[in-house]
Chain A
């Protein structure tokens, strides 16, 4: 699993780049040069390091983070209680849906937790119905009722 493999070691500049790019990226003609200037490096170096950190999966993404609900779409967290003997089979069935954006195994009777992301609100109910039909298991859906806003503040 890429996300679990040991990553290339990060040096001080890598960490400063990650921390500087948590938000507030300039919307200007040469935004990378502005950020590079503020970090005391060059645009060429910044672009090369960003590319390398994306290639090695240190970064999962760099760009605009969309609030899907405000674009008409929906994100819903959902869970299944999967019998251990069926775990691999059910994983394959659930992951096969393009609407499944993330899927994690967790330690609980509800042992599979995934996020459904769809372009329209109707897509969620359809995806849930499909998963229930394919797996024969009831889906527990946990749509968010309220978000308590947090910044992305993990420090590299």
Chain B
């Protein structure tokens, strides 16, 4: 995949802090970028279709909406079965991110990461138990790393503006 062309890139920079909160947000972006609103809407639609934009929406702060426990569950899963099992875990409605990542032996034997958010640790652990049941004997070990402090949280920033 090639990098974004100039207008796509300028659209990313113009919207990475957020979509303008005005009645006609795409018109405002068009004005800022010196193109037509039609062009802005067509580009955004194309970026959505092509997967360069996942979605246009709101990102709630997990803590603020009551999901105060955040457990990164990590699993040592049989490589031959990780694709099917990872897809099954990704379908669980309490898993917010699910990735296959490399092991770092001997320190780190885990190759599947599934983020679980809930209102308290006991609920996170119960949900981790559901994942363990689903993985069954294909899983050789797991751990849950609870977050205890947010040390930094900023959004994606491109464009060298800081």
Interface size of B by Cβ–Cβ distance < 8 Å? 83
The SS class assigned to the A binding surface is mixed
User: Within the complex, what minimum Cβ distance (angstroms) separates B103 from chain A?
Assistant: 9
Residues of chain B touching chain A, judged by Cβ–Cβ distance below 8 Å, are 1-4, 8-9, 12, 15-19, 21-27, 37, 41, 44-45, 47-48, 50-67, 70, 72, 82-83, 86-87, 89-91, 93, 95-102, 104, 107-108, 113, 117, 143, 145-159, 162
B19, B60, B91, B101: the one within 8 Å of A18 (CB):
B60
Q: Are A47 and B21 in contact (CB-based, < 8 A)?
A: yes
Chain B residues in 8 Å Cβ range of A154: 60, 62, 65, 67, 96, 117
Chain A residues in 8 Å Cβ range of B95: 150
State the CA gap A101–B83 with chains docked (Å): 28
B1, B17, B149: the one within 8 Å of A104 (CB):
B149
Interface size of A by Cβ–Cβ distance < 8 Å? 77
**Known contacts A3-B150, A65-B53, A154-B67: A60-B41 contact under CB 8 Å:** no
A-B CB contacts (within 8 Å), total count: 249
18 contacts between A and B (CB under 8 A): A22-B55, A33-B23, A61-B17, A65-B56, A65-B57, A66-B156, A102-B153, A105-B149, A106-B72, A107-B146, A108-B145, A142-B101, A146-B100, A148-B99, A148-B100, A150-B96, A153-B96, A154-B65
Chain A residues in 8 Å Cβ range of B48: 27
Chain A residues in 8 Å Cβ range of B19: 25, 62-64
Q: Are A144 and B15 in contact (CB-based, < 8 A)?
A: no
User: Within the complex, what minimum Cβ distance (angstroms) separates B7 from chain A?
Assistant: 13
State the CA gap A38–B83 with chains docked (Å): 39
Chain A residues in 8 Å Cβ range of B117: 154
User: Within the complex, what minimum Cβ distance (angstroms) separates A124 from chain B?
Assistant: 14
B27, B54, B96, B97: the one within 8 Å of A29 (CB):
B27
Q: Are B96 and A152 in contact (CB-based, < 8 A)?
A: yes
Chain A residues in 8 Å Cβ range of B57: 21-25, 62, 65, 152
**Known contacts A106-B72, A148-B89: A18-B58 contact under CB 8 Å:** yes
Q: Are B54 and A59 in contact (CB-based, < 8 A)?
A: no
User: Within the complex, what minimum Cβ distance (angstroms) separates A55 from chain B?
Assistant: 11
**Known contacts A32-B25, A60-B153: A145-B100 contact under CB 8 Å:** yes
